[in-house]
Amino acid sequence: MSGAGFHVHGPHDHELEHAAQHGDRDSFSGTIAVTTAIIATVGALFSYMGGSTQANAGLFKNNAAIKKTEASNQWNYYQAKSNKQNLAELSVEIVNTEERKGFYRNEVERYKKEKAEIQKDAQKLEAEAKDWDSRSDAEMHLHHRWAQATTALQVSIAMAAIALLTRRKWLEWVMFGMAGVGLVLGGLAVAHV
């Protein structure tokens, strides 16, 4: 506070004036500040990748559900053809004329062929659904890796803040250690491990 030639400095003001006059730099604070900015940038990238893999997992799971529904429809169609085949087989047994028996035998054979094609389509759709499920599971695994990496980086940033406030060197090492853990987990995500 200044007035009429009287000026009082607080401890913070004194430190700032001293640093400005003498060019002193606080390497502890500077190192932590720069490191925190880098960690935050990498953390933002990891967070983006985590969100991306989570979205992909959801899309892939949706595709799996669609293929499962299509396969179910095919199996229902197969069952309908089986019912018609059973009726044709029953008709062969109860009709009196050989001409009608021949017609129903042909129907039985037709239904058998149609069922074979339907079964093949249904099995193909089931395999596609299983593939989409596997892909979704793989994306969710990656999402968890990215989330773990992001969390480790966030803890590292919190350690940086505490290190700055307490000026404890060991907390700076904890910050670097957690950042290292985050980078390793991010590397595992990049490697799809």
Residue 33 located in a structural domain: yes
What domain range is 154 assigned to?
A: 26-190
Q: Residue 25 pLDDT more than 90?
A: no
Residue 155 Rama label (left phi>0; alpha psi -120 to 50; beta): alpha
User: Is residue 19 domain-resident?
Assistant: no
Does residue 36 sit within a domain? yes
User: How high is the mean pLDDT of the chain?
Assistant: 89
Residue 142's closest CA among 73, 50, 8, 7? 50
Q: Note whether residue 149 is domain-resident.
A: yes
Question: How many domains does the chain fold into?
Answer: 1
Residue 152, number of CB atoms within 10 A of its CB: 22
Residue 20 resides in a domain: no
pLDDT digits (tens, 9 = 90+) for 31-60: 888 999 999 999 999 999 999 999 999 999
Does any domain span residue 64? yes
Assigned token pair, 161 = 């803040």
- pLDDT at 170 exceeding the cut of 60: yes
Q: How confident is the model at residue 12 (pLDDT cuts 50, 70, 90)?
A: very low
Residue 61 lies in a domain: yes
The answer to the question of residue 6 being in a domain is no
Q: What is the pLDDT of residues 95-137, one digit of tens each?
A: 888 999 999 999 999 999 999 999 999 999 999 999 999 999 9
pTM of full prediction above 0.75? no
